Chains A and B, each alone.
Chain A
């Protein structure tokens, strides 16, 4: 029931973002469980969109789609955003906890689900000339979600609009930094393993 209420609340939230996000945090209208369900639905939407969109609007090579890459390409940016958001806002007097950030961001992604799933069906009934309709709604859903994410960040951390926008830019930079450090880490690890392996080979060869 908690889950269902949480999900139903998301429909209210996307149309009334200011009150919605406020109540989400302070009135505990959202919960982690429904946030995770929403993320799962976003992943599902993304996979379905890549796989099932009508031929005219689907430029993916269907035989080379990999479900794990698809999942990663939604989950990774989501958690990167949340982590970078938390790291920065704790330093910048943000009032939201990590839990708040995850729930807010997840709820802000609801427009992507509710617009794109019907759009997959519609894409089978449109010609290329009518493609503007398809592309408009597709980008509309993304713009809506991005605006909701920004508003959510603003409400959760009690920031002014200017500070929110500035923070968002920093968060994106932070995401890039995390990716960079991650790559660096793995690269170093690889080098270390390589080094040890070469020494092992050398010793094995001499003995």
Chain B
């Protein structure tokens, strides 16, 4: 007994010593995921905070209310320090390469005024949405001024509109897509000379029949005071490597989102994150248990209530994308089919939590979150569990289904509640004609359409094997029914007296 006690004490002491060497001993947030029924269930941690970068560690002085950042193809990080009206450029190891706080424009020194958006093209040209100056500014890779693009000129834009561009991206043909404040017609599309070409991707308006009814019977004055049926305004924009534009919005009503979750809607009308093709049509796949809206169980009580407020999106090369919820400081990662993979992050006062997260980026597989109140960047490193899920999704995405299944098997060792792992395993088994096992896995993963597919083959197999027995049973059943009917028919007739 005593020996056991000693061993236990030593083990605990060793564990304590070991854990104290890790910077973040316990993660400052709980990791969970949502099951088919929309209940939050605990899950292993997928990302853990590993370090914090701020102006001081970079040696460029404190940031002031930074609003956006960008990671280019060479893994340089461009931080848009809005309050200080400057751009801080670092390499992937966080060594400062350059700080751009002013540039020569028409022979004079010019600066930004509260810029909100930054984008860097493949050849290193920096585009900035210079919000309070009402213009876009292009700088070359050395920080030299190239051109400015002023307000768009068009009949369809109200003349009295104060143009305040907030976010922008460029596609491979150097067309510019701009989001501006108070513009809900969609994304402004400018051609490569900066000339306005039109709006793309305005969200379809969904009219609530009850609202419509009230609007029908109300007077003109009442109508004027009601909310208009207007498309939602986007708050952020991202372009993936295939040229699809991702946009987020936080202007959807709570009841619309609850409705979409409850009906497991795959529709783009109530969608806080959209993926637009060149014509502005939403092509995001929403095949998960619930549409990608952030938190599925929406708290109605407490200090922070209502649906998630998505403010940024980041896409990786296998179509996996993460969205940032500003309201609760959470990051939600989905695969390209819209299945929820991970949830991590939190608001708080500990290291590794946020106060006001505003932007999300991906640097060498690490997730970076920019906080505009704490004026820092939180770096999150993927855990072993997270990497397994990521690899499984990636292998499935490139068509290596069996390798993917091997990864899912390992995932199940960490998390036996992972619906996705069961589905992934089931898909591989289905491909190997192991229908019965596939069915079992699809049932565990609550995937009815694939279960149906597996079951169809399984039934064929069983019926083929046991055709004789089944036919005999059916024949006997029919005979039994006939006999019973005769007997009963007679007795009923007797009783009724016909």
Contact = CB atoms under 8 A, between A and B. Distances in A.
A129 interface: yes
Given A12-B492, A55-B443, A127 B452 contact: yes
Contact of B451 (A8, A55, A61, A129): A55
B459 interface: yes
Contacts of A128: 448-449, 452
Contact of B455 (A12, A61, A64, A127): A127
Given A12-B492, A55-B443, A125 B459 contact: yes
A178 interface: no
Nearest to B37: A61
Interface residues of A, number: 12
Q: Which of B443, B452, B453 has the most CB of A within 10 A?
A: B452
Contact of A12 (B443, B452, B496): B496
A184 interface: no
B30 interface: no
Contacts of B172: none
Nearest to B36: A61
A12 B448 CA distance: 40
Given A8-B492, A12-B492, A56 B37 contact: no
B455 A56 contact: yes
Interface string A89-117: 00000000000000000000000000000
A125 B491 CA distance: 34
Given A61-B37, A125-B459, A127-B459, A56 B452 contact: yes
Contacts of A5: 495
Contacts of A64: 37
Contacts of B443: 55
Contact of A55 (B448, B453, B456, B459): B448
Contacts of B455: 56, 127
Interface in B435-491: 443, 448-449, 451-453, 455-456, 459, 488, 491
Interface in A46-70: 55-56, 61, 64
A10 B477 CA distance: 23
Interface string B52-68: 00000000000000000
Nearest to B448: A56
A64 B39 CA distance: 12
A55 B443 CA distance: 7
A129 B488 CA distance: 37
Interface in B261-294: none
Interface of B: 37, 443, 448-449, 451-453, 455-456, 459, 488, 491-492, 495-496
14 contacts: A8-B488, A8-B492, A11-B488, A12-B496, A55-B443, A55-B448, A55-B451, A56-B451, A56-B452, A56-B455, A127-B453, A127-B459, A128-B448, A129-B452
Interface of A: 5, 8, 11-12, 55-56, 61, 64, 125, 127-129
Given A56-B451, A127-B455, A127-B456, 11 more contacts: A5-B495, A8-B488, A11-B492, A12-B492, A12-B496, A55-B448, A56-B452, A128-B448, A128-B449, A129-B452, A129-B456
